[in-house]
Chain A
Amino acid sequence: MIKRVLIANRGEIALRILRACRQLGIEAVVAYSEADRESRAVLVADEAICIGPADAKRSYLSAPAVISAALATGCDAIHPGYGFLSENASFAEAAAAHGLTFIGPSAEVLERFESKAEVRALLAKHGLPTIPGSDGVVADEAAAAKAATKIGYPVILKASAGGGGRGMRVIQNADDLAQLFSICTHEAQAAFGDGSLYLEKYLVDTHHVEVQIAVDKSGTALHFGERDCSVQRRHQKLVEESPSTALTPKVREEFLTRVAKAVGAAGYRNLGTLEFLVGADGKPYFIEINCRIQVEHPVTEMVTGVDLVALQIRLAAGELMPMTQAEVERRGHAIEFRLTAEDPAHEFRPQAGEITTFRSPSGPWVRFDSHLYAGYEVPPYYDSLLAKLIVWGNTREEAIARSRAALLEVEIGGVETTRDFFLGLLETPSFLKGTATTSMLDTIGTADILAAAPKARA
């Protein structure tokens, strides 16, 4: 039983978790840094506590500060959101040691699923197809070169402790590898505190498809369909949708069932997402697992009608799965657009500053998750996500038409945003056909996409 949750995150996800807590009748306290004193989650929360300065290392990333704040406010659980401490096994362990329920997988489960290289081997053993790659972490450059020759170039070198699209490099040939191996090792060491690397065959023109799963403490594992996140820029997702246009109905059902079964059998617990690449052969290959709620979870919520954050909290509290797989119905099509404070006309340069005007879209089957308001100051310290527009339709075409209308209603003044980029994307043939792959933005220039955007009345 969870009575009072400390929300150890910021921005739209802090607000999303707050809403889930209120819906479940659970008290919530928002933990914030000095830079977020005026954030919407803090303003609308019943209670909030400042945990440190703007520097995330001393606030949102400080395990002692977060746990101490939970104790000081009488909380019995911590929701870490995404990013920050959300997949940190030692944080989950420390929280548990102080009698706090970590809303996510236990420390033990996080540890087991921590190393990307090992997880690949573990899930392959449980029947998931994986991309040909090195057998776990590569010891040194020579071992990497040997593995790369065996699989065939191009390969992608990845930080074993990396995530969120960071810590990876495409290697075209043996010369690249010789040049980049030690740089990648240093980068991984600096960014994640662990320089271990592994490598995989680099598949070009793939769809990024991921499966939302949930597992209760007894091992009952359900899937909630897939999301297609192929529209990416430098491995950062921009648009997500469900279902994926890359899977045939026949492949899809068999695949989803297999994923849920494998992840439950491998010992995973709580909410999670398994990411796959789907190549030209239409077959999904496992790449990695994310042991947390994801930014794009609303896409799945719109299609299934399941509140995933509420489900995550209930599972963390020790409840058994409140539904069967047959009860998880997937209906229609949903698309999410990540509106960020970035200037698409200038290499997506990050923006900060005051939001001078703010108008959110609405209408049937339109959801807008955002922490913005007019007068809010976007701090320069954190990620640039401003809002998520999620739109549902009976068909993909209907969802796209509705998305266009909703995007035209959005007004965010004071900073440049990605809104016009998305309006242009919705006029781009490969996206409309559902054939856009992860390399789409390497072949179509941002300027061309922006040029295709219909002009909103100024």
Chain B
Amino acid sequence: MAHDTERLGDLLDSLVPVLVERLHETGLGEIEIERDGAIVRVRAEDLGAPVASAPAPVASRGGVPAAAAPTAGDERRHPVRSTAVGFVKLAPDIHVGGKVAKGSLVATVDVLGVAVEVRADHGGIVAKLRCASGDPVEYGQELFLLESVGEGKL
């Protein structure tokens, strides 16, 4: 336990300043990263009080990651999920910090040569990628996390 506490402390000391800086740069409401089995999440509205939790979400049992459960109570974060089973291709503006308009085409899933569209249910900024172009994805799999920003920003 003592070791874990110490490790977490080190982790927070090294990460938090960097995350806070990135938060200001990108205008994101929240940034989350995984490091050494812990998740560090920094939110704009409660800067200075980072949330650390462990362990990291369980990886899938197989080659295709299971859909991650949405974080409860986190209304600003919207997972964008695959609409088909196949190989995913992300749209060019889908990278962390990229802006997405509601209803825009954010990815396609190749199903035997047919491109099945994935459209964004919400507008926002890409907060976290959960896959890369070319990855096999299952139906309903979380492709990336969108974070809504204040109205009028997009």
Contact = CB atoms under 8 A, between A and B. Distances in A.
B84 interface: yes
A120 B78 CA distance: 57
Secondary structure type dominating chain B contacts: loop
A67 B136 contact: no
Contacts of B150: none
A4 to B, nearest CB: 11
B63 interface: yes
A49 B140 contact: no
A46 interface: yes
Q: Quick one: which of A34, A47, A49, A67 has the most chain B CB within 10 A?
A: A49
A50 B141 contact: yes
B138 A49 contact: yes
B47 to A, nearest CB: 38
Given A48-B62, A72-B64, A65 B140 contact: no
A48 B141 CA distance: 13
Interface string B81-92: 000111100000
Contact of A64 (B62, B64, B111, B140): B111
Nearest to A30: B62
B111 A68 contact: yes
A47 B62 contact: yes
Nearest to A53: B139
Contacts of A72: 64, 85-87, 136-138
- Majority-rule SS of A interface residues: mixed
B84 to A, nearest CB: 7
Nearest to B141: A50
Interface string A92-103: 001000100000
B61 interface: yes
A49 B85 contact: yes
Interface string A62-74: 0011011101111
A69 B85 contact: yes
Contacts of B141: 50
B72 interface: no
Contacts of A29: 62
A13 to B, nearest CB: 21
Interface string A37-63: 000000001111111110000010000
B63 A47 contact: yes
Interface centre among B61, B85, B114, B136 (most CB of A within 10 A): B85
A64 B61 contact: no
A65 B17 CA distance: 46
B88 to A, nearest CB: 10
B58 interface: no
Interface in A67-109: 67-69, 71-74, 94, 98
Interface string B65-97: 001000000000000000011110000000000
Contacts of A47: 61-64
A65 B137 CA distance: 12
Contacts of A74: 63
Contact of A51 (B63, B85, B136): B85
B80 to A, nearest CB: 16
B111 A51 contact: no
B112 interface: yes
Nearest to A34: B140
B126 to A, nearest CB: 23
A426 to B, nearest CB: 42
A226 B112 CA distance: 41
A72 B63 CA distance: 9
A71 B85 CA distance: 10
A49 B64 contact: yes
B62 A52 contact: no
Contacts of A65: 84-85, 111, 139
Contacts of B110: 68
Contacts of A52: 84-85, 139
Nearest to A65: B85
A47 B112 CA distance: 21
Interface in A110-166: none
Contact of A73 (B64, B112, B139): B64
B136 A48 contact: no
Given A52-B84, A52-B139, A72-B138, 20 more contacts: A34-B139, A45-B61, A46-B62, A47-B62, A48-B61, A48-B62, A49-B85, A50-B67, A50-B139, A51-B139, A52-B85, A53-B139, A64-B111, A65-B85, A65-B139, A68-B110, A69-B85, A72-B87, A94-B112, A98-B112
Interface of B: 61-64, 67, 84-87, 110-112, 114, 136-141
11 contacts: A29-B62, A45-B61, A48-B62, A49-B138, A50-B139, A65-B139, A68-B85, A71-B87, A72-B85, A72-B136, A94-B112
